Amino acid sequence: MRKKLFNERGAALVLVLLVIVLVGIFGTVLATQINSTGMQANKSQELVQAESLAVMGENLLIKDVEKLTDLDQPLQMIRDKWDENILLKQMNSSHSYLIETKQILEKSAGEYVLPYKVTGTSEGTTKSIENELTLSSSEESWVAAIERKKEELSSKECNTNSSPPCFYFPRGLDTNKSEMYEGDLWVNDGLTIRGKKQVEVTKFLLLTSGYLTMNGSKAEIIVRGDAYISANPSKVSYLIIQGDAFFENVDVWSRVEGVCIEGQTNLVDQSGLSIGGQDCP
């Protein structure tokens, strides 16, 4: 009887040892799996961060090119900075993006291709974006186009018999009724709109000197084309410009609400980004 009990105790010990071994094996496998999953998650996270850094670098490159296209001789300015140039932006010791610009290629007469590669790096993980920009040597910058239009209006006789018709108010315009100007409108020495009225310009708006004042809470100006504004804002409810718009007093106008510009503009918001490209009502 005692011998049988001793044998049973030995079997129990073997069973316990077997359970311990199995738990150890499965525990090791589980720990390895968890560790592998964690490493994969970290790898995926670093890949996402690397891609974000690459996109950041690409956006910076495109923005710099857009700034240069607003200058005189944009192609030459870009060529001086572009050909086989390398820019490394180190965010910290383990995060960076590298911009590599390659030689500019002429795609066709007057049209050029600007190839580039941007590589983002995060904790040793890299992600690259290869793309190209297209630039036309004959393309006139929007600022140059507006300044040219301003000079054309200033240097010629502005009257309703011109093509397109031009409406000129050398001593300012003060109106308490809705007006439609089918052509260019040039107002010198201030524009004032009284009441809930609307002034619409189908072509180009040029405001030189004076102030823009809208005394009605729902008074508005709608410009279907481009605009050059050197007048200062006094009170503005709604100013809608469907084309491009250049403002001389950027610091003052950038603080004005109620301005909506669908095209390009030199006005910026508080973060320094252009307020152009909006969907105006």
Compute CA 52 distance to the chain's CA centroid, rounded to the nearest angstrom: 16
pLDDT tens, 63-101? Answer: 877 777 666 556 666 767 776 677 777 777 788 889 888
Which pLDDT does position 1 carry in this prediction? 47
Low pLDDT (below 70) residues in the chain = 1-14, 16, 26-27, 30-31, 33-42, 69-77, 79, 83-84, 106, 108-110, 137-140
Residue ranges covered by each domain of the chain: 44-136, 142-261
**What CA–CA distance (Å, rounded) separates 195 from 23?**
84
Which pLDDT does position 41 carry in this prediction? 59
CA angle 207, 212, 214 (to 5 degrees): 140
According to DSSP, residue 170 is labeled T
